Chains A and B, each alone.
Chain A
Amino acid sequence: MTRTILLIDMNAFFASVEQAMNPALRGKPIIVCGRGRTVVTTASYEARVFGVKTGMNLYQAKQACPQVIAVEGDMSRYIDASHNIQRIAREFTDQVEMFSIDECFLDVSKTCRNEVDPQNIARAIKHTIREKLGVTCSIGIGPNKVVAKIASKMQKPDGLIEIREKDIPVLFALMAVQKLQGVGVGRHISEKLMSMGITTAGQLGNTPLEKLMHHFGIMGYRLKRIGEGKDDSPVDSSGGNELIKSVGHSHTFPRDTRDISIIRSYMMMLTEKVGLRLREYGLMGKTVYCTIRFGDFTSWGAQQGLKEHIRQNREIFFVAEQILARAFPLSKAVRLVGLSISDLKPRDTQQFLLKEMEKDTTLAEAVDDINKKYGVFTIKASSVILSEKFGIRPSCGMVSKQALKIKV
């Protein structure tokens, strides 16, 4: 059964909202910074012309573009705009997945079965978003989410590209593997693929599965599917109502290392992050999992189940150290360490759903109180989204999805 998937990707989202709000900023190079105004979260297209990029600090941005205007962002505006985009999308289908604050998947297969051209739907959406919010987006159309996402990236800003099933072989034969970033082929993977002589998406799709599995493990399967332009994953309109299944963090070293003290100290740092998040969510866990990725992309992982649920840093680190000890002596230099805790249960006796998370670490003390006072769209949830924008990505992507959900 053929599907028709749309991906709406907002163009320079935060900066565009600021320009829509403030006429004095329109047509000018601007950057939206987080609180403290140090890091660029989004640069307007006018600023990008000068080479200003997300992740630069204010000084670098000013170096690249002296006349750039720094604006302190306000997450409440972007979340509200994101909700509005979702409402607009829902006028066309009930299958809407808010993938991130500025990206939204739509499954319009049912609508398109009645001879409706998906490009007309896309044009209508673009028009409505521009009218109501004063901002532009790029829409990609494809037979699945991976291809729709690739299509959305082909024309920015204000783009509309459809990739049909029959166009995939020709298109992918010419498309560099680097273009697959954002659909699960990160920079390191594409570099590795290049070194294997795989330079185009089409070549990736034609590479024998065994070869990819040999180099990338289980991920090889997914990589081959991406190279073939195939993807069965559904548009998930549940909006992250699920409970968190695990809480985890990983860290990539600045350079590969065999030094046990370095690995241990990073593991301690990860413990603190994981422990903090666990307590923020009001959860405790019974299984600890450690993972190591080596310089050659092979990985090692082991877990330990416990008799009782734990949540304190020192408890987690104690277990993590024991697990880690099994990986020594190391045969190869380590590039990444990861830690996660699963088998979670709410620390409190009543059902503790994700949406009840609240402001900062105070959660631990006053869950019930805060649940009443703060709604779903809390300061915490938006700071999680912001931290994702900064590239600090906790494994619990669902948190931000919950904050993005609208009541239907």
Chain B
Amino acid sequence: MQGKTLILGVIGADVHAVGNKILYHAFRQAGFEVVNLGVMVSQEEFIEAAIETAAAAIVVASLYGHGELDCRGMREKCQEAGLADILLYVGGNIVVGKQPFEEVEIRFKDMGFDRVFPPGTLPDAVIDALREDLQP
């Protein structure tokens, strides 16, 4: 995975900053180049960063419950920007309250996310998934 670039950020009007920093360090430790856009990141910002850095994946976090609204249309925008095949992950507390995760996963996969992670996912699980998905 040496050298593969990831774009990381917390989407929308979400200010939960702690998990973001933990993920950043974990991904770096695992050997990725990480562009961390921090909190309150718009879809456009994720996409522009991915274009300029030729990123392999965009890892979207959402903690405050509005993830579904914030993520809508993101895959389509990637396609428009010439990033049709970029890997899109999402995780955190992506919906309000406790909903059956299988349903949530289906909804986000329908939106074009390659992987959807349930609350409480540890960074290692994401790193394993990235290694698998980014195999040459």
The answer to whether A and B interact is no
Residues of A within 8 A of B (CB): none
Residues of B within 8 A of A (CB): none
